[in-house]
């Protein structure tokens, strides 16, 4: 799709873009947003490969072994108390809590200092995300208005940010960076909506004793924040107890990740001026302590200065910022691929594929993700900009929003997660919904890629003609 040279087409001469598939155009010093996009893009590509691997395994001679592995029981006990779940449940209820923790950190950062901190800048992705959740749900209900299938109305509401960014990275030289910012902000609001939907509508019968315990632990986390406790270890320990309480309460346990993340402190111990002064004094002591030819292992004073420098660096970072940076990599490159491997394995009966795709659940999910997301995101964006309630990002047209709206129909991770909750007692409907999610994500990814590629070609021809004139 073209070369990656510095002379590649850019949507606007004075608009920064991601010029290469692997963001080579970014400077070596990356902003938090650029680092997030870079890791999420790579994660999306790995996620695609893992999902494809799961599909291949589930439709091969290894299918029976794959199913057996999903249901391997794993448990532990302390005295008379014990907890046992299948490997599949440990991944979806336990490991995915780390994913929700990172989602919570990203949400908090975006609300405090990111795209969602400025009401004017946040208006468009917020309105677009709401439209992109409401319209797909309505279309699903239209296709599946009653019975057990109705429980899946929340499935097509979610957009998978990793998948969407993985796709848009292929077209990185042909889209404005502000479109990527819009898509990230939209997906983050979308994640918040999915968390609310899970909490309100996919909760089992409540056990009030454990719900009360969860409330007490949440208050404890807030108090820890207010008194200035910045060591993440304490938050993790209380977060684990919160997860156990929610697991027994009927509320989905992964919400413990979001709650814990929102209590992580967002203020540093040192302000920039204090940090700068301390670092300069420490660097002077470092130079004074250094002896040419002597290893740092032999120089205890030098080692002490280095350790103090490290502590100072951590003190000028907020715990929120440090945890988001440290947790994003293992979640993006371990947790999500493992989730995909154990959840995307859908056995496809190609002889009855047409009948399977016409099932109300499958058809509702496909219609919701592909058509509903497009109408909801693009239509809402058009409406609110016409009414003057929001403005388009710089160098972004409604045509760009249309391409992003199609990519919004890629609903892999959160959609599958909601499907597992919605149809927990109906394995056949889980398979139908997953087939719909995978089919819709493929259609949306291809359609969005073609749309934005053709739009980029058109812009390139227009710019070339203008220069020739």
Q: Which range, of 287-301, 316-330, 392-406, 417-431, averages the lowest pLDDT?
A: 287-301
Q: What is the pLDDT of residue 3?
A: 41
Reported as a pLDDT band with limits 50, 70 and 90, residue 344 is confident
**Which residue range forms the structural domain that includes residue 353?**
32-203+252-267+318-468
Q: What is the pLDDT of residue 7?
A: 42
Neighbours of 431 (CB within 10 A): 21
Residues 6+ apart with CB under 8 A from 24: 4
Q: What is the pLDDT of residue 77?
A: 79
Q: What is the pLDDT of residue 31?
A: 53
Percent of the chain with pLDDT over 70: 88
Checking if the pLDDT of 294 tops 80, the result is: no
Reported as a pLDDT band with limits 50, 70 and 90, residue 35 is low
Measured in degrees and rounded to the nearest 5, phi and psi for residue 53 equal: -60, -45
What value does the mean pLDDT of the chain take?
82
CA 209 to chain centre: 32
Q: Is residue 4 part of a domain?
A: no
Strand partners, 85: 74
Q: Which range, of 28-32, 242-246, 266-270, averages the lowest pLDDT?
A: 28-32
Q: E strands along 302-376, which residues?
A: none
Of the candidates 70, 68, 67, 63, which has an alpha carbon nearest to the alpha carbon of residue 90?
70
- The Cα–Cα gap between 62 and 100 comes to 31
Q: Is residue 441 part of a domain?
A: yes
Q: What is the pLDDT of residue 262?
A: 92
Q: What is the pLDDT of residue 364?
A: 94
Reported as a pLDDT band with limits 50, 70 and 90, residue 331 is confident
DSSP conformation letters of 154-200:
GGGG---HHHHHHHHHHTGGGS-HHHHHHHHHHHHHHHHHHHHHHHH
pTM attached to this predicted model? 0.74
Mean pLDDT value of segment 297-306: 74
Give the number of domains in the chain. 1
Q: What is the pLDDT of residue 15?
A: 44
Measured in degrees and rounded to the nearest 5, phi and psi for residue 241 equal: -65, -40
Residues 6+ apart with CB under 8 A from 240: none
Tokens of residue 244, six digits: 């156990």
Of the candidates 156, 122, 139, 191, which has an alpha carbon nearest to the alpha carbon of residue 384?
122
Maximal C-alpha separation, the chain? 83
- The Cα–Cα gap between 417 and 409 comes to 16
Mean pLDDT value of segment 56-81: 87
Reported as a pLDDT band with limits 50, 70 and 90, residue 168 is confident
Tokens of residue 261, six digits: 């993340």
- The Cα–Cα gap between 43 and 408 comes to 17
Tell me: the pLDDT tens digits for 8-23? 444 444 444 444 443 4
Q: What is the pLDDT of residue 138?
A: 96
Measured in degrees and rounded to the nearest 5, phi and psi for residue 123 equal: -55, -50
Q: What is the pLDDT of residue 264?
A: 93
C-alpha triplet 212, 158, 211: angle, nearest 5°: 5
Tokens of residue 252, six digits: 């989905």
Q: What is the pLDDT of residue 24?
A: 46
Residues 6+ apart with CB under 8 A from 466: none
Q: Where does residue 15 rank: exposed (0-12), middle (13-18), buried (19+ CB within 10 A)?
A: middle
Give the H/E segment covering residue 82. strand 81-86
- The Cα–Cα gap between 149 and 143 comes to 10
Q: What is the pLDDT of residue 14?
A: 47
Buried-state track 232-258, b at ≥16 Cβ within 10 A, e below 16: beebeebbebbbbbbbebebbbbbbbb
Checking if the pLDDT of 303 tops 80, the result is: no
Q: What is the pLDDT of residue 32?
A: 55
Of the candidates 175, 103, 174, which has an alpha carbon nearest to the alpha carbon of residue 417?
103
Tell me: the pLDDT tens digits for 224-241? 999 988 888 999 999 999
Tokens of residue 65, six digits: 């072994």
Checking if the pLDDT of 315 tops 80, the result is: no
Q: Is residue 412 part of a domain?
A: yes
Tokens of residue 42, six digits: 């790579």
Q: What is the pLDDT of residue 369?
A: 95
Q: Which range, of 15-19, 393-397, 420-424, 442-446, averages the lowest pLDDT?
A: 15-19
Q: What is the pLDDT of residue 131?
A: 95
Residue with more model confidence, 182 or 299: 182
CATH code where residue 390 lies: 1.20.1530.10
Give the H/E segment covering residue 150. none
């Amino acid at each position: 799709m073209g070369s990656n040279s510095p002379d590649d087409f850019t949507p606007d001469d004075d608009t920064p873009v991601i010029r290469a598939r692997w963001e080579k155009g970014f400077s070596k010093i990356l902003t938090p947003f650029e680092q997030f996009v870079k890791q999420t893009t790579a994660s999306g590509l790995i996620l695609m490969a893992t999902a494809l691997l799961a599909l291949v395994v589930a439709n091969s001679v290894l299918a029976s072994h794959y199913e057996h592995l999903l249901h391997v029981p794993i448990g532990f006990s302390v005295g008379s108390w014990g907890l046992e779940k299948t490997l599949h449940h440990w991944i979806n209820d336990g490991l995915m809590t780390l994913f929700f923790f990172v989602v919570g950190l990203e949400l908090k950062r975006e609300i405090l200092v990111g795209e969602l901190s400025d009401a004017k800048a946040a208006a468009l992705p917020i309105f677009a995300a709401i439209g992109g959740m409401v319209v797909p749900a309505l279309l699903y209900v239209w296709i599946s208005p009653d019975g057990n299938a109705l429980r899946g109305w929340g499935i097509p509401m979610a957009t998978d940010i990793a998948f969407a960014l993985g796709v848009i990275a292929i077209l990185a030289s042909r889209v404005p960076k502000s479109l990527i910012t819009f898509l990230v902000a939209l997906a983050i609001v979308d994640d918040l909506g999915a968390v609310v939907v899970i909490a309100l509508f996919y909760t089992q019968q409540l056990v009030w004793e454990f719900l009360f315990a969860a409330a007490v632990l949440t208050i404890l986390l807030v108090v820890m924040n207010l008194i200035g406790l910045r060591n993440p270890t304490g938050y993790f320990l209380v977060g684990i107890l919160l997860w156990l309480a929610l697991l027994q309460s009927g509320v989905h346990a992964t919400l413990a990740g979001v709650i814990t993340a929102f209590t992580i402190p967002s203020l540093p111990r040192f302000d920039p001026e204090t940090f700068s002064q301390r670092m300069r004094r420490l660097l002077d002591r470092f130079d004074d302590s250094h002896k040419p030819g002597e290893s740092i292992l032999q120089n205890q004073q030098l080692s002490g200065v280095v350790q103090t420098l490290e502590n100072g660096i951590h003190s000028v970072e907020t715990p929120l910022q440090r945890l988001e940076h440290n947790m994003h990599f293992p979640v993006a490159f371990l947790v999500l691929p493992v989730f995909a491997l154990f959840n995307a394995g859908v056995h496809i009966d190609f002889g009855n594929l047409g009948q399977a795709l016409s099932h109300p659940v499958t058809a509702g999910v496909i219609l919701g993700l592909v058509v509903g997301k497009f109408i909801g995101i693009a239509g809402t964006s058009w409406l609110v900009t016409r009414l003057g309630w929001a403005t388009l990002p710089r160098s972004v047209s409604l045509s760009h929003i249309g391409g992003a709206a199609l990519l919004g129909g890629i609903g892999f991770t959160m959609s599958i997660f909601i499907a597992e909750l919605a149809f927990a007692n109906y394995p056949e409907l889980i398979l139908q919904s997953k087939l719909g999610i995978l089919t819709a994500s493929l259609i949306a990814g291809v359609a969005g890629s073609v749309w934005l590629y053709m739009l980029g070609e058109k812009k390139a021809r227009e710019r070339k003609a203008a220069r020739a004139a």
